[in-house]
Amino acid sequence: MRYSLLISLLLLFFSKNFNGQNTTPSDSLNNYVSKVNNSAKPQELLEAFRYFNAKIKNDQSELSEVYNLIYIARIQQKLGVLQESEATATKALQVLENTASSSTKKAYQNTLYNHLGKLYKETGKLKQASYFYKKAVSNASAKQKAILYNNLGNIARDQQNDSTALDYYTKAIALSEQTDNLENLARARDNSGYLFRVSQPQRALSEMRSALELREKLQLQEGLFTSYIHLGEYYQLQQQKQLAKAYFIKAQSIAEQFKNLKYKESALQQLLRMADIPIAKNYLTVKDSLTQLNQNAESNYLALKYQLEKSEQEANLFQLEKEAEAQKKVFYQIIGLLVILIAIAIFGYLKIKHRKEKILQVFNTESRIAKKVHDEVANDVYYLMTKLQNATYQKEDTLHRLEEIYQTSRNISRENNSFPEDENFSDLLKELVSHYQTSHTKIIVKNLTGIDWQTTSTLKKATLYRVLQELFTNMKKHSEASLVLLSFQQKGKNLVINYTDNGKGSELKKRNGLVNTESRMQAIQGKIIFDSEINKGFKAQLIC
Amino acid sequence: MYEKIIIAEDLGSINESVLQLGKKLQITEIHQVQYCEEAYMKIKKAHQENVPYQLLITDLSFKPDYREQYIKSGKEIIKRLKAEHPELKIIAYSIEDRKASIEQLLKLGVEAYVCKDRNGLVELEAAIISTFKNESYISPQIEKILDRTTDFEIEDYDIFLLNNLAEGFSQEAISKQLKSKNIAPNSLSSIEKRVSKLKIHLGAKNTYQLIALSKDIGLI
């Protein structure tokens, strides 16, 4: 109770100071400002609240918004909704943050720090209170500083930290003397004296008396009230009940003068305590515990409410996150779907392309074989038939001709039968070579056994087999070569096969079979390079 | 002569001529089938009834038709029968003339291999007679293929010889060089042998032509 007294004094001081910043306040504004500063009636406070709330919506500048918020915070404090008041003050500070630095900004900030310090002190959060008071100190004038040091001293006293409290009071006294501010000097002396009332009664008394003298001289009614109460308490401690009672009565008369209910209450309470009536004492004890209970309940409620708000906010935040996540999910799903669709489209396209290529390949092979059968077998059979129409043709000749046709057709079959994949590839190649080896055509092989065919795929082997077969067939048909060299080489990952013959060679007009070898090698990501000139032999290099 | 033989051949005309051959050889019981699986079943059944076949003449490739076959090729039936009834003699009779596949058949243990060509029937007759006398038979042209030395490969050693000959060194000088480099074989006679082998394989009449040919095809 007694501290709130000081605080309201402070509030008065700051609001006066603060009002000074507004150069042209309107009449209604003045009216409401004084209501906020002086009235404790809820009805009037609510009116003022409505006024400032409406004013926020009309006022454009940020500084005037802060001005209105400060008053709202004060009204809320007076109405006892401390949590709201705190929130309002904090919001005002945030708005201030964004404004350009100015003297007005500093003054507002100080006012708000002071306001928050008071709020926290009222709710018993002493640490926060001293934090904000200290913040306010850095920007304050010497006069304001004296008041703030007083407040800080009071907090330290409440925290049972007497030495710190004394430090602050001493600073306040020094500052007050420096600025010749007797009001503040009296306050600081009174407070420091009150601090010593138990430990050093003599010192306490002299300090408090000097403060009282100053106040009497200056006729500071509010200060006198505090002094009387403090002195009363002092004498009560000293068991000088008559003196104590006298001071309390003085305090009560000041309260009557002021018509201030809070002052009245605190003076009467002290007097009641003095009157030796057991029922009164009981009543005071009960009242104190009730007040305590109410305060606890209120702070619990506030804490709970604050928690609720917080969890509500969190829930909202969570909801927002969930929505964002859901959107993200949809986004990824769409992308995934697109990827799948594109993949299917590509797959389908490749499949169709592949099928076409395969059909084309089959068709090419078929026509190649058909052409061969026509050129090599059907022609020979027709020739034989015409010969047989000539009666003089001998049986032995016929048989001989037939065998040739048989051999030809068998060769066609051999060239086109399935590739024997289960056989040793090296042996298979040797056999292929031996098949084309005649007394007129020597084929020599270099480094075939040096190649490891284990890791080569069946497709690659089959391709190489067919290509070499094609080269040999070509050689047999056209080159008249007497010597062929087939050399194998492993170059890193690549297999290189060189085919060289000493035949007639040719102009590099690719014949059907050789074009086939090119497409075959391409199919296994390999290539074939031809090199030939008339009468300079024929060369081919296979790389895969 | 054999008393009971079986012929697996899907071409009717060939079947007929083989049948004629069997009659000529006075074989009393000749059975003909067109699928190798059928042949396998018949052989199994005859064995169970204690009237086994003495000889199987089989083709290697059979045209697939509407009938689903478990045993699809002559090679497969030969493999099975040689494992299950080693006493049954088998003559493979096919147009196949690839060295590797014929060598595989011989490894499986067929008694004879006859190539279907102009002299096929004559050779088959010889094969039947030979196998009856517990001798193996292989058509002469196939024997030639099997004998063919395909194992010749040009080696670095040969390239070394050819290079030195091309530079005009005598075989004696090359022998000395090899000896100094500790490369074997390095005797004059082994060098002479190798050079003459190279001449054969490259089809050269003399050393000069050997070098010329080697240069032609880029060996050196």
Kind and range of the H or E run holding A5 = helix A2-19
pLDDT (mean) for A217-223: 83
B151 CB-near residues (< 8 Å, 6+ apart): A430
Verify whether the Cβ–Cβ distance A485 to B150 is below 8 Å: no
Q: Which domains does chain B have, with CATH numbers?
A: 4-147 (3.40.50.2300), 156-216 (1.10.10)
Q: What is the largest CA-CA distance in chain A?
A: 174
Q: State residue A512's pLDDT score.
A: 63
Q: State residue B6's pLDDT score.
A: 94
Q: How far does B198 lie from chain A, in Å, by closest CA? A: 10
How far from chain centre, in Å, is Cα A407? 81
Q: Is the pLDDT of residue A336 over 60?
A: yes
Of B150, B217, B219, the CB nearest to A434: B150
Verify whether the Cβ–Cβ distance A434 to B219 is below 8 Å: no
Q: State residue B210's pLDDT score.
A: 92
Q: Which residue of A has its CA nearest to B203?
A: A442
CA distance A122 to A495: 92
Verify whether the Cβ–Cβ distance A430 to B150 is below 8 Å: yes
Q: Is A500 on the interface with B (CB under 8 A)?
A: yes
State the CB neighbour count (10 A cutoff) for residue B152.
Answer: 18
Q: Is the pLDDT of residue A7 over 80?
A: no
Q: How far does B151 lie from chain A, in Å, by closest CA? A: 7
CA distance B53 to B88: 7
Q: State residue A17's pLDDT score.
A: 43
CA distance A453 to A544: 13
CA distance B131 to A300: 115
Q: State residue B150's pLDDT score.
A: 58
Kind and range of the H or E run holding A488 = strand A483-491
At B132 the three-state DSSP class reads helix
Of A403, A445, A483, the CB nearest to B117: A403
pLDDT (mean) for B70-76: 86
Best interface-test mutation with A: which of B73, B150, B159, B161 has the largest number of A CBs within 10 A? B150
Verify whether the Cβ–Cβ distance A500 to B217 is below 8 Å: yes
Q: How far does B59 lie from chain A, in Å, by closest CA? A: 16
Confidence grade of residue A18 (pLDDT, cut at 50, 70, 90): very low
Q: Which residue of A has its CA nearest to B154?
A: A446
Q: Is the pLDDT of residue A89 over 60?
A: yes
Q: How far does A522 lie from chain B, in Å, by closest CA? A: 26
Q: State residue A5's pLDDT score.
A: 44
Q: State residue A438's pLDDT score.
A: 81
Verify whether the Cβ–Cβ distance B219 to A446 is below 8 Å: yes
Q: Is the pLDDT of residue A19 over 60?
A: no
Q: State residue A9's pLDDT score.
A: 44
| Cβ atoms B23, B30 nearer than 8 A | yes
CA distance B93 to B88: 16
What does chain B come to in residues? 220
Rounded percentage of chain A residues whose pLDDT exceeds 70: 91
Verify whether the Cβ–Cβ distance A444 to B117 is below 8 Å: no
Q: Which of A23-27, A81-85, A232-236 is modeled with the greatest confidence? A: A232-236
How far CA B209 is from CA of A239, A446, A480, B203, B212, in Å, comes to 146, 19, 18, 9, 5
| Cβ atoms A100, A61 nearer than 8 A | no
Q: State residue B27's pLDDT score.
A: 92
Of B118, B145, B219, the CB nearest to A403: B118
Rounded percentage of chain A residues whose pLDDT exceeds 90: 12
Q: Is the pLDDT of residue A539 over 70?
A: yes
pTM, two decimals, is 0.50
**Which chain B residues have a beta carbon less than 8 Å from that of A497?**
none
Verify whether the Cβ–Cβ distance B202 to A434 is below 8 Å: no
Confidence grade of residue A39 (pLDDT, cut at 50, 70, 90): low
Q: Is B101 on the interface with A (CB under 8 A)?
A: yes
- Name the packing angle between helices A162-179 and A142-158 (round to 10°): 160
| Cβ atoms B67, B101 nearer than 8 A | no
For the domain covering A1-132, report its CATH number: 1.25.40
CA distance A69 to A111: 11
Verify whether the Cβ–Cβ distance A430 to B98 is below 8 Å: no
For the domain covering A422-543, report its CATH number: 3.30.565.10
pLDDT (mean) for A470-480: 87
Q: Which residue, chain included where needed, has tokens 């493979």?
A: B92
**Which chain B residues have a beta carbon less than 8 Å from that of A537?**
216-217
| Pairwise pLDDT comparison (A188 vs A509), residue with the higher score | A188
In SS3 terms, A66-77 reads as HHHHHHHHHHHH
Confidence grade of residue A260 (pLDDT, cut at 50, 70, 90): confident
Q: How far does B117 lie from chain A, in Å, by closest CA? A: 8
Q: What is the average pLDDT value for chain B, to the nearest integer?
A: 89
Q: State residue A303's pLDDT score.
A: 60
Q: State residue A128's pLDDT score.
A: 81
Q: Is A503 on the interface with B (CB under 8 A)?
A: no
CB pairs < 8 Å spanning A and B: 74
Of B150, B151, B202, the CB nearest to A483: B202
A355 CB-near residues (< 8 Å, 6+ apart): none
Q: State residue B29's pLDDT score.
A: 92
Q: Is A428 on the interface with B (CB under 8 A)?
A: yes
Q: What is the average pLDDT value for chain A, to the nearest integer?
A: 83
pLDDT (mean) for B182-210: 90
Q: Is B70 on the interface with A (CB under 8 A)?
A: no
Q: Which of A135-144, A211-220, A481-490 is modeled with the greatest confidence? A: A481-490
Q: Is the pLDDT of residue A187 over 80?
A: yes
Q: DSSP assignment of B8-73, as one string? A: E-S-HHHHHHHHHHHHHTT-SEEEEESSHHHHHHHHHHHHHTT---SEEEE-SB----SS--S--B
B32 CB-near residues (< 8 Å, 6+ apart): B6, B7, B9, B15, B19
Q: Is the pLDDT of residue A421 over 80?
A: no
A residues 465-494 near B, CB within 8 Å?
Answer: 482-485, 487
pLDDT tens-digit readout, B26-41: 999 999 998 888 999 9
| Cβ atoms B171, B191 nearer than 8 A | yes
ipTM surpasses cut 0.85: no
Q: Which of A18-22, A512-516, B149-153 is modeled with the greatest confidence? A: A512-516
Q: Is the pLDDT of residue A36 over 70?
A: yes
pLDDT tens-digit readout, A172-181: 888 888 888 8
| Pairwise pLDDT comparison (A294 vs B2), residue with the higher score | B2
Q: Is A410 on the interface with B (CB under 8 A)?
A: yes
Of B117, B148, B152, the CB nearest to A406: B117
Q: State residue A299's pLDDT score.
A: 64
Q: State residue B120's pLDDT score.
A: 87
Of A424, A442, A537, the CB nearest to B201: A442
Q: State residue A27's pLDDT score.
A: 67
| Pairwise pLDDT comparison (A507 vs A480), residue with the higher score | A480
Q: Is B67 on the interface with A (CB under 8 A)?
A: no
Verify whether the Cβ–Cβ distance B203 to A500 is below 8 Å: no
Q: Is the pLDDT of residue A306 over 80?
A: no
Q: State residue A309's pLDDT score.
A: 66
Q: State residue A304's pLDDT score.
A: 67
Q: Which residue, chain included where needed, has tokens 């396209």?
A: A349
pLDDT (mean) for A477-489: 90
Verify whether the Cβ–Cβ distance A434 to B145 is below 8 Å: yes
